């Protein structure tokens, strides 16, 4: 899609300059941001969302990150359209590639649609997929209006100063400190929550802190791999295929009466939930400029992909599908 407007030339030079892609304007590297942003997303989805207590709240809370992620993607796009500042554009780009990618999960849509189809029929599963994508598009459009609304409320040149504050060197330092504190708080919570809430761990199972650390590693790795995908469609197909292959393998191992090592189960669960979720292209399939016919067609194509894989997952035996859904919910709740 060809981009037009006052910022088009700046963004093209920004994308074509290899140094700009990997450094801030003051010469500092992006590596810390590429590590901390997926980690923050993993902590929010794994530790900070409330634990669902019913099937209906389970589905709602598991789907919520995708809708919220689309809304945040709209805000990011709105900020990007208003700015010609290199560091602000850089911040918008890495937020999409490393935070929103790890915060959302395309495979979950397909898996949950299959689960809903088993419980309530294929028609309901089809409606779930279409509702998920329509809700994401609506949330994205709504998010795009937020920066304009903030600019209208600001007086004089205050909006420009406030807008570029986060992209400044001092603003970035404060953001990094805040995100590091969030990750640290999530690790503390995962360590002490079983003691505080008298949640006794099963003998031989991995601790919540270990699970979170594994999830953090997979989220960072998944976001890095997803950033190398040539298109969102490619990323979504590959990650959905990985989810299916992983749980076909685990079901075969279970039916062979072999006892699975708890650490291996944890690694598989986090691979499916954290790695495949972060590597998928849900955030990347959101438009870079605005919702047009071309971007709407791309969303429709991704919806078709979700329906195809939902049909494939529907053929799983119910225990295998439940295990697959559980792993993705462990990532989202």
Structure tokens at 164: 């570029």
At 46 the pLDDT is 82
**CA–CA distance, 333 with 158 (Å, rounded to integer):** 39
At 59 the pLDDT is 61
Closest residue by Cα to residue 296 from 179, 140, 162, 77: 140
**CA–CA distance, 235 with 37 (Å, rounded to integer):** 19
Whole-prediction pTM: 0.80
Residue 70, phi then psi, degrees to nearest 5: -65, -40
**CA–CA distance, 118 with 229 (Å, rounded to integer):** 32
Angle at the Cα of 154 from the Cα atoms of 150 and 160, rounded to 5 degrees: 85
pLDDT in tens, the chain (333 residues): 334 443 443 333 344 444 445 667 666 678 889 999 999 999 988 887 665 545 555 566 667 888 999 999 988 888 888 777 777 788 888 998 899 999 999 998 998 888 888 888 889 889 999 999 989 888 988 998 888 777 655 544 454 455 555 556 777 788 888 999 999 988 888 877 654 444 444 444 567 888 889 999 999 999 999 988 888 888 999 999 999 888 777 777 666 555 667 787 788 888 988 999 899 978 777 766 666 777 778 888 999 999 999 999 888 765 555 555 555 555 444
Helical residues (DSSP H) of the chain, grouped into ranges: 8-16, 18-22, 31-43, 55-82, 86-94, 101-103, 106-120, 122-153, 158-165, 169-196, 208-226, 232-255, 262-270, 276-279, 293-314, 318-332
């Amino acid at each position: 899609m060809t981009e037009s407007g006052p910022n088009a030339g700046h963004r093209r030079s920004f994308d074509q300059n290899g140094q700009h892609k990997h450094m801030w304007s003051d010469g500092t590297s992006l590596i810390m941001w590429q590590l901390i942003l997926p980690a923050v997303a993993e902590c929010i989805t794994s530790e900070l969302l409330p634990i669902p207590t019913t099937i209906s709240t389970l589905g709602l809370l598991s789907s919520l990150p995708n809708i919220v992620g689309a809304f945040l993607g709209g805000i990011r796009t709105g900020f990007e359209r208003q700015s010609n500042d290199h560091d602000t554009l850089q911040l918008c780009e890495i937020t999409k590639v490393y935070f929103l990618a790890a915060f959302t999960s395309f495979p979950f849509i397909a898996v949950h649609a299959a689960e809903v189809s088993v419980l309530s029929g294929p028609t309901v599963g089809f409606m779930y997929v279409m509702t998920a994508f329509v809700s994401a598009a609506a949330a994205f459009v709504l998010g795009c209006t937020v920066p304009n609304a903030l600019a209208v409320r600001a007086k004089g040149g205050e909006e420009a100063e406030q807008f570029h504050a986060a992209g400044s060197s001092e603003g970035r330092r404060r953001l990094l400190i805040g995100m590091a504190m969030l990750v640290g708080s999530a690790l503390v919570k995962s360590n002490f929550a079983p003691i505080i809430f008298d949640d006794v761990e099963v003998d031989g199972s991995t601790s919540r802190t270990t699970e979170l650390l594994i999830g953090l590693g997979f989220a960072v790795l998944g976001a890095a791999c997803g950033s190398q995908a040539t298109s969102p469609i490619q990323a979504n197909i590959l990650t959905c295929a990985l989810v299916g292959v992983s749980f076909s393998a685990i079901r075969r191992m279970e039916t062979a009466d072999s006892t699975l090592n708890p650490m291996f189960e944890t690694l598989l669960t986090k691979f499916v939930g954290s790695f495949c979720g972060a590597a998928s292209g849900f955030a990347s399939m959101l438009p870079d400029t605005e919702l047009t016919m071309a971007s709407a067609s791309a969303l429709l194509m991704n919806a078709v992909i979700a329906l195809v894989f939902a049909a494939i997952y529907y053929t799983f035996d119910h225990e295998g599908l439940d295990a697959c859904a559980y792993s993705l919910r462990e990532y989202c709740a």
